[in-house]
Amino acid sequence: MIDLQLTDKTHDEERQGEALIIDAPKALNARKLYIESYGCQMNFADSEIVASILLDQGFETTGNYQEADAIFINTCSIRENAEQRVRNRLSQFGIEKRKNPKLIVGVLGCMAERLKSKFLEEEKLVDVVVGPDAYRDLPALLEQVGEGQKAINVLLSREETYADISPVRLNGNGITAFISIMRGCDNMCSFCVVPFTRGRERSRDPHSILAEAQDLHERGYKEVTLLGQNVDSYKWKGSDQADDQAETVVNFAQLLEKVALISPELRVRFSTSHPKDITDEVLYTIKKHDNICNNIHLPVQSGSTRVLELMNRTYTREWYINRVDAIRSIIPDCAISTDIIAGFCSETEEEFQETMSMMDYVDYDFAFCFSYSERPGTMAARKLEDDVPEEVKKRRLKEILLKQQESSRKRLQESVGKTVRILVEGYSKKSDLDLCGRNDQNAMIVFPAVENVKPGQYVNVVIERCTSATLLGRIAD
β-bridge partners, 471: 445, 466
- DSSP conformation letters of 107-124: EEEHHHHHTHHHHHHT-T
Q: CB atoms < 10 A from the CB of 329, how many?
A: 10
Model pLDDT, residue 31: 92
Question: What is the strand order of the sheet 176-180 is part of?
Answer: 176-180, 223-227, 267-271
Model pLDDT, residue 171: 66
Burial letters 225-244, b for 16+ CB under 10 A, else e: bbbbbbbbbbebeeeeeeee
Chain segment 288-332, per-residue pLDDT in tens: 999 999 999 999 999 999 999 999 999 999 999 999 999 999 999
Model pLDDT, residue 80: 65
Judging by DSSP bridges, how do beta strands 243-251 and 335-342 pair with one another? unpaired
Architecture field, domain 419-475: Beta Barrel (2.40)
Rounded Cα distance between 464 and 413, Å, is: 10
Residue spans of the chain under pLDDT 50: 1-16, 20-28
Rounded Cα distance between 408 and 170, Å, is: 30
CATH number of 176-413: 3.80.30.20
Rg (CA), the chain: 22
Rounded Cα distance between 41 and 1, Å, is: 14
User: For 15-153, which CATH class?
Assistant: alpha beta
Alpha carbons within 13 A on the beta-carbon side of 78: 23
Domain boundaries, the chain: 15-153, 176-413, 419-475
SS3 content of the chain, % helix, strand, coil (to 5): 35, 25, 40
Model pLDDT, residue 66: 93
339, 296 contact by CB (below 8 A): no
